[in-house]
Structure 1
Amino acid sequence: MAPRNPNSEKILDFVVNKGNGIKGLVDTGIETVPDLYILPIEERLLPNNILPYDSIPIINHGVPLHVLDAVKEAAYRFFGLPYEERNKYWAGNSPTDTVTLKTSFVPQAEAVLEWKDYLSFRCSPRDLESFPLWPPVCRDEVVEYMESAKSVIRKLLEVLLEGLKVKQIDKAREYTLMGSPIVNLMYYPHCPNPDFTAGVRPHSDISTLTVLLQDDNGGLYVRATENDSWIHVLPINGALVINIGDILQIMSNDRYKSIEHRVVANRSKDRVSVPIFVNPGPDAVFGPLPEVLESGEQPLYKEVVFSDYFKYFFSKKHDGKKSMDFARI
């Protein structure tokens, strides 16, 4: 990574080291996007790369509308707190490692930062023991959202695994599929030059599934199967977007494909979204399922410990689906 210019170093110190995040930078009244956030032209989302149709989120999923609205409001409420209150949960300051406020993706490994902050909650049963240490302005809503979504997550996994000849999800397999879920409150403040930067760069998630709740402002794009085109996923009130993650692609031996996606910045409006990353337990070992390989099919991936895959993913910038090379044979 090339050395940053002195101004970029000052901004990096303000945003990352001092824990102000992109929220704090926007609150200073900046009128242009700093160099630290400007993407190379070849990495920007251009109008001629956007297809004129939309993907379809799911509705009638069983999560009450008031629960969805409440967790979105909670996200806005947290990021509306004064710096001193938000900073209590910044990485290194938080009273527990089960809740952490971060910015961009991996700032130390990125030449160009992403235009976002996020508050990340680990939500396994053991992690929930830290609930009293979580931010009071949003903790109840996060837990209610996670608990309400469990049934739809389970049903989706049962249907998807049935297509892989898995007859039932027992306790051991449940841990491998969904043992350590994470809920993020994602915050994308308005941006003076949204075409120059990215809310999130193109990537696929390392989850089994990702269940995403958008607010009304939109900004999510998924990669199409043709050329280098992208599809805008318009927000629908009460709907959830379901993305297959890398883990399910590996377990299915490429029958299912993880979804590459990105988020654009918005000139005039702040945006929040609330993804649930349905992850394996940290020490779960996963690879192509025996049911998939029983007919003699050759595995495309080796067996991997999830915590190792997780560490690898968070050691570098978002870079399409290249993280899957970690498990590829």
Structure 2
Amino acid sequence: MAPTFDSVNLFDFVVKEGNGVKGMVDLGLSKVPDQYIQPKNERINKINMEAEHMKSLPVIDLSGLDGPQHDQVAESLIKAAETLGFLQVVNHGLPIELLEAIKGAAHLFFNQPAEKKSIYLKGISPTPLVKYGTSFVPEKEKALEWKDYISMIYTNDDDALKHWPDQCKEVALEFLKESTNMAKRILEVLMGNLGVTLDDSMVDAYMGTKFVNMNFYPTCPNPELTVGVGRHSDMGALTVLLQDGIGGLFVKVEEDGDVGRKGEWIEIPPIPGALVINLGDTLQILSNGRYKSAEHRVRTTSTQSRVSVPLFLVPKPDVKIGPLPQLVEKDGGTQYRECLFGEYMSNFFAETHQGKKSLDFAKITPV
């Protein structure tokens, strides 16, 4: 017989006791509990997979940065940053074996019994470097997200190998290092287009905090009623995302162009061996609005459990973020105020997912 939950029992079972959505699904759900049913305007009912959009999504061969195609590849990176805030890259230098290994490690971690995962719950985790949980801010959400996750903060190699979960620490660390090197090259191109030469101090400032998440989206009996992740933009500079072959990532088109009409949601098809790159709020602020952070969300599926592995590259908390001075002078004004990134981050995690509303914290409202 399928289990039934009241609101208190469900919250305790899923969130406080660390069973997660997976633990709930493993009990044999035949329908989605009310606590996960999203308002109609937040549901992802239409899968926008028109052939012309699939052909025009930016898929960029990064190996071209090392040869005569450098300028064309750089132009493609810049165009994607100025329009969709999202791109996929191939020939990025990360071994396919590593990408497969980290997806396998994610399944290995989440398929453990709940008591093995719940040791990393917020408030009781043996280390501040690892946090296991579900949804985004479940204490505040009117409708919960159909997702479990583990987040691993990087300080140094020794700490990672000592404190990160055994099931994934080595491959997660390798993924972090390889992806960071790739992301530096992309940031170098984007900053160069703004008239800034990227040096080590800037890399350390704007990408100095790194953390790897592993997301697990269990099968859902009513995917049309739920979301895996609600619509949001990322807070940092760049996010490197590995998605598996199941699909479900949607990005909102910022302006009319090659990939669709403004306000339209398009699904990003999984490409074997590719990595997804999306810009965060930090780059939109630094560029004085020239670059776009990508508003995105994730649907659920009734067929297979899905994993994704994002690496978030964000500024250090004590770094001030604001439009670059040369852009303010060139643009004749500023769209954003300067603030400490730590303050921006605190505001980001204090609210539920609400599209790109997080940018309002730094946005200057015209008088």
Q: TM-score band, normalised by the shorter chain?
A: over 0.9
Q: Secondary structure at the match of 2:209?
A: coil
- Which residue in 1 is equivalent to 2:171? 141
- Which residue type is aligned with residue 152 of structure 1? M
User: Following the alignment from structure 2 to structure 1, what is the Cα–Cα distance between the partners of residues 179 and 14?
Assistant: 33
* TM-superposed deviation, 1:17: 1.2
User: Following the alignment from structure 2 to structure 1, what is the Cα–Cα distance between the partners of residues 159 and 20?
Assistant: 27
User: Following the alignment from structure 1 to structure 2, what is the Cα–Cα distance between the partners of residues 44 and 229?
Assistant: 14
C-alpha RMSD of the superposition: 1.6
- The answer (yes or no) to whether the contact 1:89–1:101 under 8 Å persists in 2 is yes
Alignment of 1:155-170 (within 5 A): 155-170=185-200
User: Following the alignment from structure 1 to structure 2, what is the Cα–Cα distance between the partners of residues 123 and 110?
Assistant: 28
User: Following the alignment from structure 1 to structure 2, what is the Cα–Cα distance between the partners of residues 220 and 71?
Assistant: 19
- CA deviations 1:37-71 (Å, max 9, x no partner) are 00111221232766552333210111111111111
Q: Secondary structure at the match of 2:308?
A: strand
User: Following the alignment from structure 2 to structure 1, what is the Cα–Cα distance between the partners of residues 272 and 337?
Assistant: 40
Confirm whether residue 203 of structure 1 aligns to residue 238 of structure 2.
no
Q: Secondary structure at the match of 1:166?
A: coil
Q: Which of 123, 137, 161 is residue 92 of structure 1 equivalent to?
A: 123
* TM-superposed deviation, 1:247: 0.3
- Which residue type is aligned with residue 229 of structure 1? E
User: Following the alignment from structure 2 to structure 1, what is the Cα–Cα distance between the partners of residues 341 and 211?
Assistant: 14
User: Following the alignment from structure 2 to structure 1, what is the Cα–Cα distance between the partners of residues 329 and 242?
Assistant: 37
* TM-superposed deviation, 1:256: 0.2
Confirm whether residue 47 of structure 1 aligns to residue 46 of structure 2.
yes
- Which residue type is aligned with residue 244 of structure 1? L
Normalising by structure 2, we get a TM-score of 0.84
* TM-superposed deviation, 1:294: 3.3
- Which residue in 2 is equivalent to 1:246? 281
- Which residue in 2 is equivalent to 1:194? 223
User: Following the alignment from structure 1 to structure 2, what is the Cα–Cα distance between the partners of residues 110 and 320?
Assistant: 14
- Which residue in 2 is equivalent to 1:64? 95
Q: Which of 93, 99, 106 is residue 75 of structure 1 equivalent to?
A: 106
- The answer (yes or no) to whether the contact 1:49–1:228 under 8 Å persists in 2 is no
User: Following the alignment from structure 2 to structure 1, what is the Cα–Cα distance between the partners of residues 243 and 354?
Assistant: 23
Segments of 5+ residues of structure 1 without an aligned counterpart are 1-5
Q: Secondary structure at the match of 2:294?
A: coil
- Which residue in 1 is equivalent to 2:321? 286
Alignment of 1:1-329 (within 5 A): 7-47=6-46, 52=51, 53-54=53-54, 55=57, 56=59, 57-125=88-156, 129-171=159-201, 173-224=202-253, 225=255, 226-295=261-330, 297-329=332-364
| Greater Cα offset, 295-304 or 29-38 | 295-304
Normalising by structure 1, we get a TM-score of 0.94
* TM-superposed deviation, 1:296: 5.7
- CA deviations 1:232-280 (Å, max 9, x no partner) are 1111111001101100000000000101111000101000000111100
- Which residue in 1 is equivalent to 2:64? none
* TM-superposed deviation, 1:128: 5.3
- The answer (yes or no) to whether the contact 1:96–1:130 under 8 Å persists in 2 is no
* TM-superposed deviation, 1:18: 1.2
Segments of 5+ residues of structure 2 without an aligned counterpart are 60-87, 256-260
- CA deviations 1:213-245 (Å, max 9, x no partner) are 001111101112324421111111110011011
Number of residue pairs matched by the alignment: 322
